[in-house]
Structure 1
Amino acid sequence: MSTSQMPQPERPTDAPPAHVPPTDTPRREAPADAQPRGKLPLSPLLALATAAFMAILTEALPAGVLPEMARGLSVGESAAGQTLTVYAIATGLTALPVTAATAAWRRKRLVLAAVVTFAVANAVTALSSDYLLTMVFRAAAGVAAAVVWAELVGYARRLAPARLVGRAIAITMAGVPLALSLGIPLGTLLGGLLGWRATFALVAAVSLGLAGWIAVSVPDHPGRRREAGEPLLGALRLPGVVPVLFVTASYVLAHNVLYTYVAAFLEARGMGGARDTVLLVLGVASVVSIAVTGALVDRRLRALTIASAAVFLVAAALLTAPGGGAALVYPAVVLWGLGWGAVSTLLQTAVAQAGGDRAQPLLVTTWNSFMAVGGAAGGVLLDAAGPGSFPWTVLALLVPVLLVVVGARTHGFPAARAREQ
């Protein structure tokens, strides 16, 4: 998901049986092993939120230390920016096959393997001076992220009572804006104080600590055997899934075009020295957004999604103003954060309503594929048209997002949905 992010989704451990026709409407009930009472189990949910935090931090940290990382690897900034792209490509391309290949694994074992992979990949990044070796381990971390995103929503649904499923998803997804608000700015600051290599080493150490927390706190669940002939893309036939995936693709592409090369954009506005402050403002606004979303998503999914697209669109419009300095950039970044912070929870919830667990790997694939496209497209735009082209690109992408959300009134982003029992 991918930051870039958000990126993200869940493995179909409790998906409907293979004999259910793919055109059936997915059940709205929570999984059978959901918590029967109204209390949310905070420790496992927060551990999973931290896994989301580490997935985003591992992915997006290069954006905060891009000039320094480029010098350390003896490549240009566009090439260094592809360390984000290869991560997202690996996540997007492997989400479906990894989902199928690990279907029978115990769920906690799978999540622990992913978190340990984050630790190893970040440690190698901290030590390596070889660009290709760094890219290989960034790709490995991207595969681990595919696992994490595929598990989060399913775990949240199993741990929560039916009426609080949206809130549980919001808690697990809180790691995304927290990575933006705390992790990336702190990483940028530490990169300046200690060096970018020490920062990646610290992220590796935190990942190992997280593995211990998950081992102690998160309950285990069995995998399932994937039935022969069960289509990986069958969820595309369910009403509402395609509109959600379209919105995911366009929104994530818009965000990543701007976010990956935010350092270059700020430099062009004479704000290169304010990079860490701008990222902090973006993250804090995202935290506010996800707090509001967590409280309202179970009742106001459609309205919140429309608002998310609208405020990001206004932010892009502000950034198109020629010569606009801090007086325009900071309000725009606040609006950007308010829109972006909500989007992972909103789209995870929307795809779960439309397609159940079967649609989660499709969301992972779409999210991360278009994060990769955003990083690559941003590099092309940076070289060909300069950073001033970024907000215009965001505008062009968000207008159809808003139109699709408004139009998907019956399926995808419905005006009303059945109250969960």
Structure 2
Amino acid sequence: MTMTSPTPPATRSHEALPVPALTVMACTGFIVIMTETLPAGLLPHLADGLGVSEGGAGQLVSAYAIGTVLAAIPAILLTRGARRKPLLLAGLLGFLVANTVTALSPSLPVALGARFVAGAFSGLLWGMLAGYARRIAAPQHAGRALAIAMTGTPVALSVGTPLGAWLGSALGWRWAFVAMSLLTAAVLVFARLLVPDVAGQRAQTRAPLIRVLGIPGVATILVTVFVWMLAHNLLYTYIAPYLRQARLGLRPDLALVVFGAAALGGIWITGVFIDRALRRLTLVSVALFAVSGVVFLGARGSTVAGVLAIVLWGIAFGGAATHLQTAMGEAAGENGDVANALLTTSFNLAIFAGGALGAVIVDGAGASVLPAVMIALALIALVTVGCGRRAAFPAGR
């Protein structure tokens, strides 16, 4: 059995990208990320509505992340032989139910349970969505198809979360989750109508988890994911105290809108080049990430420099998920869904670590030193990508 077999054949042999289906997948990603981040913008309202402290309400974010970490790998291992479209519909239905239960929750324990379930379905969707998007497009456009499918993430971060916070403030936090349920129901209908089905992984090609970890390039990509996303989440999670201590004259919500818009630019650049320059694109993105950290360090008191740093940060981060998932899909071949479940787990562990390490830094040395840590981690990621020349991020791709 060959562990580095090529990506499974696409179900469509013609040149055109299946844009309607990929748009539905982008909307699915939007729902996943929006559901994850929505409580962050509604903490005071959630605390008042559920009769708990803001710290207690913040556990709604943690419950979601724990569900993702615990469910991603088992869910993909159990379903990798199943057809993809029923899994996509089941995942969306899970989000519909979980968000509806959250909206109707009478107490914090019920809401935590619903959030845990939503996180579990997130693990399922993120584990299979990348491979699914690549397989419904012609092989020569697989990277571009993934770039389109991933646009939901920056849109959710830049537009969705602020919009959800506004809706929760205007109508009440429960209506924000109701709106998520309605959106999920609409995407579920379009997924049923527009997204083609593909088969699951063939039984004879299914490698055990430990062998997937041993596929050349997989471990290198997982290290890159953790270090790079840790660098990102340190600043993203604590952007408010950083902006305040650096005296940049920017509101956090405005800064995140600028970041999200720049991230969309990064996604577009990725879509143009990823099918012929994966290694160079990844190296440039990680290097630009380090450069943005340098600009952040020197931006103290300068709004213009701060905006420039945020733009560079957003461009560098925008295509990151596509770079890493494309690299993982090509390294793992037919075991790409399991490998992407490992990637999802590594990503969410980086979110955990970013919150914990960031709290220590902010409470100790202060948020103004976060860019220095970001630079150090980005340089480690850059070296890791550089060392992955043979299998993880192969030269000549």
TM-score (structure 2 length as normaliser): 0.90
User: After the TM superposition, which residues 337-348 of structure 1 pair with which residues of structure 2 at under 5 Å, given as runs?
Assistant: 337-348=314-325
Report the alpha carbon displacement of residue 298 of structure 1 after superposing the two structures with TM.
0.8
Report the alpha carbon displacement of residue 125 of structure 1 after superposing the two structures with TM.
3.0
2:386 aligns to what? 406
Q: Which amino acid is the alignment partner of residue 35 of structure 1?
A: R
- Among 17, 21, 26, the residue aligned to 2:4: 26
Report the alpha carbon displacement of residue 231 of structure 1 after superposing the two structures with TM.
1.3
1:7 aligns to what? none
What's the C-alpha RMSD, in Å, of the aligned pairs?
2.6
Q: Which amino acid is the alignment partner of residue 397 of structure 1?
A: L
2:347 aligns to what? 367
Asked if the contact 2:11/2:198 (under 8 Å) is kept, the reply is no
- Among 221, 226, 237, the residue aligned to 2:214: 237
Asked if the contact 1:81/1:260 (under 8 Å) is kept, the reply is no
Report the alpha carbon displacement of residue 290 of structure 1 after superposing the two structures with TM.
0.3
Q: Distance in 1 between matches of 2:234 and 2:187?
A: 30
Q: Distance in 2 between matches of 1:98 and 1:348?
A: 18
Q: Distance in 2 between matches of 1:228 and 1:410?
A: 23
Higher alpha-carbon deviation: 69-78 or 347-356: 69-78
Q: Which amino acid is the alignment partner of residue 282 of structure 2?
A: T
Q: Structure 1 residues 225, 306: CA separation in 2 closer, same or farther (over 3 Å shift)?
A: closer
Q: Distance in 2 between matches of 1:131 and 1:35?
A: 47
Report the alpha carbon displacement of residue 81 of structure 1 after superposing the two structures with TM.
4.1
Q: Distance in 1 between matches of 2:250 and 2:187?
A: 32
- Among 348, 352, 363, the residue aligned to 2:329: 352
Tell me, yes or no, if structure 1 residue 395 matches structure 2 residue 381: no
1:211 aligns to what? 188
Report the alpha carbon displacement of residue 121 of structure 1 after superposing the two structures with TM.
2.3
Asked if the contact 2:76/2:128 (under 8 Å) is kept, the reply is no
Report the alpha carbon displacement of residue 32 of structure 1 after superposing the two structures with TM.
3.3
Report the alpha carbon displacement of residue 299 of structure 1 after superposing the two structures with TM.
1.0
- Among 260, 267, 285, the residue aligned to 1:308: 285
1:388 match: secondary structure: helix
Tell me, yes or no, if structure 1 residue 120 matches structure 2 residue 97: yes
Asked if the contact 2:10/2:138 (under 8 Å) is kept, the reply is no
Tell me, yes or no, if structure 1 residue 178 matches structure 2 residue 155: yes
Q: Distance in 2 between matches of 1:176 and 1:298?
A: 20
1:181 match: secondary structure: helix
1:251 aligns to what? 228
Report the alpha carbon displacement of residue 131 of structure 1 after superposing the two structures with TM.
3.1
Number of aligned pairs?
A: 394
Report the alpha carbon displacement of residue 173 of structure 1 after superposing the two structures with TM.
1.1
Q: Which amino acid is the alignment partner of residue 296 of structure 2?
A: L
Report the alpha carbon displacement of residue 145 of structure 1 after superposing the two structures with TM.
0.8
1:13 aligns to what? none
Tell me, yes or no, if structure 1 residue 194 matches structure 2 residue 171: yes
User: After the TM superposition, which residues 131-150 of structure 1 pair with which residues of structure 2 at under 5 Å, given as runs?
Assistant: 131-150=108-127
Bigger relative contact order (CA 8 A; separation at least 6):
1
What is the percent sequence identity of the aligned residues? 40
Q: Which amino acid is the alignment partner of residue 278 of structure 2?
A: L
TM-score (structure 1 length as normaliser): 0.85
Which ranges of structure 1 fall in alignment gaps of 5 or more residues?
1-19
1:8 aligns to what? none
Report the alpha carbon displacement of residue 309 of structure 1 after superposing the two structures with TM.
1.2
Q: Which amino acid is the alignment partner of residue 403 of structure 1?
A: V
Q: Distance in 2 between matches of 1:105 and 1:25?
A: 20
Asked if the contact 2:248/2:301 (under 8 Å) is kept, the reply is no
Asked if the contact 1:81/1:379 (under 8 Å) is kept, the reply is no
Report the alpha carbon displacement of residue 78 of structure 1 after superposing the two structures with TM.
5.0
Report the alpha carbon displacement of residue 265 of structure 1 after superposing the two structures with TM.
3.3
Asked if the contact 2:8/2:333 (under 8 Å) is kept, the reply is no
Q: Distance in 1 between matches of 2:128 and 2:187?
A: 16
User: After the TM superposition, which residues 83-162 of structure 1 pair with which residues of structure 2 at under 5 Å, given as runs?
Assistant: 83-128=60-105, 130-162=107-139
Q: Distance in 2 between matches of 1:164 and 1:80?
A: 43
Which ranges of structure 2 fall in alignment gaps of 5 or more residues?
none
Asked if the contact 1:89/1:372 (under 8 Å) is kept, the reply is no
Asked if the contact 1:58/1:203 (under 8 Å) is kept, the reply is yes
Report the alpha carbon displacement of residue 185 of structure 1 after superposing the two structures with TM.
2.8
